Homo-oligomer: A and B are copies of this chain.
Amino acid sequence: MARGAADCPTMTTMPATPPLPFEQHQRPMGLRERKKLKTRIAIRKATYRLIAEQGYDATTIEQIAAAAEVSPSTVFRYFPTKEDIVLTDEYDPVMEAALRARPGDEPPLESLRAVLTGAVASILEKEPEEMGRRTRLMLEVPALRARMTETMAETSSLLARPIADRAGREPDDPEVRVFTAAVMGALREALFHWGERGRQDDLVALVDRTLDVLKGGLRL
């Protein structure tokens, strides 16, 4: 299991997120940072390749390190757990910002709908094959599915803050928490359904549909 998601310098040191989804961060960026990004990407690539060849469980950190030409220690410095190499998700802060940027009089559910569908559409457009790989793995490997679920729970409490602010409540208000948890759960189920269907459907439309279920008060 994820023993301790220790501090990994790369994550805390870097401006925010390397392959930033929407905007760009074009500050000079010295050789040092460029190298770090390269290493990070190399580890990722090596991981995906090895997993494609041998499967997730059969792929060891040692192999990944060798393939990426770094030491095992370095792999752990870049990613706190093996699962995170596959799943690392840089979109949380972006989504929070996007959420805050929404008009204040918009119903919260609609704000979240806009943010989520926007994010999904953006990822789907920029890195479609990466998205496919990740989703497939999430479905196949229990450890990754679990980690993903956990990540979404974290995202849920992250989004609770702006939602609570807007509704004039506390972020730990049970109603606020259920709100974000339900929305993230809907996203999760949409993603899984999409993956199980071979990723042919329109994921954005699926997300929209699932959010409609919530909006309708879970009438079936």
Contact = CB atoms under 8 A, between A and B. Distances in A.
Contacts of A193: 172, 174, 177
Nearest to A81: B1
Contact of A185 (B185, B206, B220): B185
Contacts of A178: 185-186, 189-190, 210, 213-214
Interface of A: 1-2, 5, 83, 107-109, 142-143, 145-147, 149-150, 153, 163, 166-167, 169, 172, 174-179, 181-186, 188-190, 192-193, 196, 206, 209-210, 213-220
Contacts of A177: 189, 192-193
A213 B167 CA distance: 14
Contacts of A216: 217
A216 B218 CA distance: 9
6 contacts: A146-B146, A166-B220, A175-B213, A175-B220, A182-B214, A216-B217
A185 B174 contact: no
A165 to B, nearest CB: 11
A179 B218 contact: yes
A163 B177 CA distance: 24
A216 B107 CA distance: 13
A174 B145 CA distance: 17
Nearest to A194: B174
Nearest to A179: B218
Nearest to A207: B174
A218 B209 contact: no
Contacts of A184: 185
A176 B189 CA distance: 10
A172 B150 contact: no
Given A1-B2, A1-B143, A217-B216, A181 B172 contact: no
